[in-house]
Structures are given as structure tokens and as C-alpha cells.
Amino acid sequence: MSVGVAPLVTVTTMGLRQHLRNTLFAALLVVLPIAFILLSFARTPDVPYAVTATVGGVEAPIPVGMRNLHGAIMVPMTVSFLAGILGLFVMIVSREGDRRLLRAGLPAWTLLTSRLAVIAAFSTAITAISVAATLPGFVPEQLLLFSVVNLIAALQYAFLGAAVGLFLSPMSGTYLMFFAPMIDIGLLQNPMFPRDEVAWWVQALPGYWPTEVLVDASFTPDFDRPDALLAALSYLAVVALVGLLAFRRAIVGQR
């Protein structure tokens, strides 16, 4: 099950070029996150607000301001729905071509790895652009951790979008990948809403553990939530595995 480096690089490069030639795809990648985040800063009132975070192992209210809190939570919401939609279309656009590549003799695991690499590259770009767009209005206390946890959120929804793209139509898949992160991160995980007792099904959603780390990275100077980061990474590994199995069933199993 070895993956040849040269074919992998070639297929991955071709995939990146194919999608970047699409003007709408490039606009989603660059323009939309900047506009979405900057608009959220412009429309959010700068009023006092406090959020509960872990400091030195103890939960305590921290004054952060509504604009800063909204700016922090807009990043994972933005990267999640954009990465989810882009992951969806990477698979939809590539589906028939991938079957032809397999019939032509390209090893299945080379193709699987290349598609994951394309999705990861776009997710990384979306995250970098979104974090950069946030910095003029809000600088997190732990910028590196803030960036990493947003990348985790993006990859989670990107792999879910890829799995969805193998089975749903473009329209239904787009609706799902747009509204799912909005409801998950923008509503159910949002620190602006009461979170005293979080239901088990809310904790089972992709955005729960990244949001827990996000609050710590945004508003406290020290990292106090290694448990949440480990849980988020574990969740990401499971989602990636689900995406791989879905790809294998839909593409490799029907060639």
C-alpha cells in the first residue's frame, strides 16, 4: 500500500491547478473570508462583555468586549463553512475523473492521498486568510494556538464536505455544508450564549472541542486546555477516516 511520491505530487498539483482556474472557487478562497470577517467587525457594537474561560485550572469570567468575542468566533465559523463547501466541490468535480484515473492504473491510495492533500491545502489557505483578516480588529492572546485550532475546525468540515460530495448533489450538499457550521459553531457552541450545562449531543458536534480551545487561545495568555485540544485532534482523525472510507466506497468500489 505504498504511495509513490512522483505520481502523488503530479496528481495533487494537477488538482490544485484545476480548482484554482475556477474563478468562483478562487473567490470563495480569498475574497469571501475577508469580506465576511471585516463586515462582522464593522457591524458588531463595541460594548462590554465577559466570557467564562479557564485560567490556571479555574474557570473565571474574563472581560473581553462584544466585538473581540464576535471577531474570535467568526473565524472558525467562516473557515468551517468555506472549507466544507470547497471540500464538497473538490470531490464533486473530481468524481468522474478519479474513476477514470483508477481504471487507467493509478493506485487507489495515491489518489486518496492526493485528494486529502488538495483539501488540506485549501483549508490551510482559508484559515491563513481568515486569521490575517481578523488581526486588524482583534489579536488573540495565543496567536499560534488560535491559528491551529481554526485549522482543525476547517479540516473537520472540509473532510465532512468531501464525504458529503461523494453522495449528494451540488445543491443539497452546499446547503448542508453552509448551514451545519452556522448552527454548530455560530449558535450551539457560541460563547455569547449560555453554556452552563452542555448537552451530550452538542458536545458530539464537530465544533465543540475547537471552540473550547478557541476561547482559551483568544483571551488567556497561557494554554490551559490540552484536554480539549487532544479531543479536537482525535475528532479530526475520526472525520478524516470517515472521509477516506466514503471515498473508497464511492470511487474505488464503483470503478
Annotate 63-126 with DSSP letters as a single string. E--HHHHHHHHHHHHHHHHHHHHHHHHHHHHHHHHHHHHHHTT--HHHHHHHHHHHHHHHHHHH
From CA 24, how far away is CA 100, in angstroms rounded? 25
From CA 142, how far away is CA 215, in angstroms rounded? 10
pLDDT tens digits for range 94-139: 777 777 777 777 777 788 888 888 899 999 999 999 999 999 888 9
From CA 101, how far away is CA 119, in angstroms rounded? 18
pTM score of the predicted model: 0.89
Q: Is a pLDDT exceeding 50 seen at residue 67?
A: yes
Name the residue ranges covered by the structural domains of the chain. 5-254
Count of CB atoms situated within 10 Å of the CB of 22:
13
pLDDT tens digits for range 165-183: 878 888 888 999 999 999 9
User: H or E element: which one contains 59?
Assistant: strand 58-63
